[in-house]
Structures are given as C-alpha cells and as structure tokens.
Amino acid sequence: MTDRWTKIAPAAEALLAGDLIAFPTETVYGLGGDATRDESVASIFAAKGRPKFNPLILHVTDHSEAERFGDISAGLRSLAERFWPGPLTLVAPLRERAKVSPLASAGLDTIALRVPADSLARELLAEVKIPLAAPSANPSGKVSPTTADHVLAGLTGKIAGVLDGGPCPVGLESTIVGMDGETPVLLRPGGVAVEDLADALGRPLITHKGAINAPGQLSSHYAPDAPVRLNADAPDETEAYIGFGASPSGDINLSPTGDLIEAAANLFAALRDIDHFNKPIAVAPIPETGLGAAINDRLRRAAAPRS
C-alpha cells in the first residue's frame, strides 16, 4: 500500500528501485520518480492519469547540477542566482546527451529545471544523486496537494509512500520562466512574484500567451468539484464563500488580514475544504499584485468550464 514516512531513507530506497514517491517542496508536494529511467517517468504519467504530451519539471540539488541538463544562458542565469533554491522553474535548452528520459521533457528540446528549497527535498536529492521528475502529487486536473493527507487522498495505492514534511509554506506551484530567443518570458505565475523577477532582470518580464507556452496549462485545472464564481463581493444564499480580508469573512478565509503570502499558502487547502459544504463556491476579489497574480491564475483555472 502507500506508506507515510518522516525520514528520507525509505523514500530514497524506493526511488532508487524505480518506484514513485511523493515528497514535500516549499510550493506543493511533488510526485517524484527517477528522471533518468523511462519506466519510472512513464509510471508518473500513469499514476496521475496525465496526458503524455505534458512535460515534467526536473528537480536537482543545485545550479551546477541543473547545468548538466539545461543550458542556463545569460538571460536566465541572473534568475537562477537570485532565486535558487526556491519556488522558480527555468525552462532552458536541453543539453545534447543529457542523461534524462525523453519522456520527462515530452520530446521537447527544452527542459524545465528547479532547485527546491525545502530541507527534506534537498536531503532526498542529495541522498539519491539522481534528478527527480516531479509534477504536483495530485490526480491530473485536481487541486495540488499542500499536505501529506492531500497526497494520500488522491494517490493512495498508486505510489510507494509519501515523505511527510508538514504543510507547504508557499502553497502555490513555482513560477515558470523560459526564453523566447534572447528574451525571458513568464510561462506560469507562481511562488516568486513577477515584480521580483523584473527587479532581478532589471526590466519588465513579458507574459507569453503564444507558441512556447507551458503545454500543461490546460484551462480547466486545479478544480474543486463544485462550480466556482470569482470576484464575488458577497455570497448569495446558495453559495459557500471563500473570503479574503475583513468583510465578509466567509466560510473559509484565505487571510483575514489581507496578506497575500498567507492567502497563497492557504489557497489549495481552502479549495478542497470548501467542497465539503456541497454548495456552489463564491470567492472574494483578490488584488492582482505580488502573489495575487498567481492566486488569481489558479482561481481562474478552478472556475474555468470543465472539459
């Protein structure tokens, strides 16, 4: 069945045997497998029920290990230096003969790379000495897990175990930045605010809505079961309400003091918990600044028409 561990040894052992585990990162829990083994990567797609064309993020111990897989050129290097380890993923040209399963990059000539900051994730990577391919540890199309209990609710029986590191402090997936020619482009808003990226780059970051987008960005995603209405100043009498700030407080409040960092950390647990009300969901307006951009991105996906 599926174990719950608090020490890295059994998790490392399972990974080296080619099995899948879930592990904590500062953003959300990852569903990890050996990125160098085709069978392990294939079983990640199977466990998630994820379409195979969707490429995965490679988790590595540090910047120099990341360079073994991707060519982190001038445009991205300043971001790596400033934000790694941390909630930032960089999409770089895949190096020729990089030792990574082509399934992990879904056959693209680029690779998504991330150096997580979470201490258990870092210990685990140091122990196994292999890159871990890891999407968020939830069935495809469902809300990302920010606790070990969330992972077990979705993936029990499909993975060897979950390394329990408690709740994820950031609570939103990593920000993804790629290159369009010489220009860094934002592919997904996330745990690093775009304002901070622009500050590190010394110029505003362009948002890409076109060709080199992140193929996993299906519009309906992160979805609770009930329909979701956004920018609701108040619930109607049929709705359960996710509040933000003082009034109205709501059935669940992302941050009573209006703190966007606290709201990000609480978002995915709130989307799960609000489903227990068995009512349509209304969500308070969230400002578009700082982590608010990423929160609103996830909320729009939660509210998108279901396929």
Q: List residues near ligand TXA by CB under 6 A.
A: 25, 27-28, 30, 54-57, 89, 91, 105, 108, 110-112, 114, 134-136, 173-174, 176, 178, 187, 214-217
**Smallest gap, in angstroms, from Cβ of residue 12 to ligand TXA?**
17
**Smallest gap, in angstroms, from Cβ of residue 298 to ligand TXA?**
11
Question: Quick one: which segment of 58-66, 133-141, 163-171, 203-211 binds Mg ion (CB under 5 A)?
Answer: 133-141
**Smallest gap, in angstroms, from Cβ of residue 175 to ligand TXA?**
8
Cα separation, 257 vs 144, in Å, equals: 24
Going by C-alpha positions, the residue among 288, 277, 280 that lies closest to residue 244 is: 288
Q: Count residues near Mg ion (CB under 5 A).
A: 1
Told to check if 89 binds Mg ion by CB under 5 A, we report no
**Smallest gap, in angstroms, from Cβ of residue 79 to ligand TXA?**
15
**Smallest gap, in angstroms, from Cβ of residue 268 to ligand TXA?**
11
Judged by beta carbon, residue 112 or residue 148, the one nearer ligand TXA is 112
Question: Quick one: which segment of 35-43, 91-99, 134-142, 237-245 binds Mg ion (CB under 5 A)?
Answer: 134-142
Question: Quick one: which segment of 75-83, 97-105, 131-139, 288-296 binds Mg ion (CB under 5 A)?
Answer: 131-139
Residue 55 binding: pick among Mg ion, ligand TXA, none (C-beta 5-8 Å cut-off by kind)? ligand TXA
Q: Which residues bind Mg ion (CB under 5 A)?
A: 136
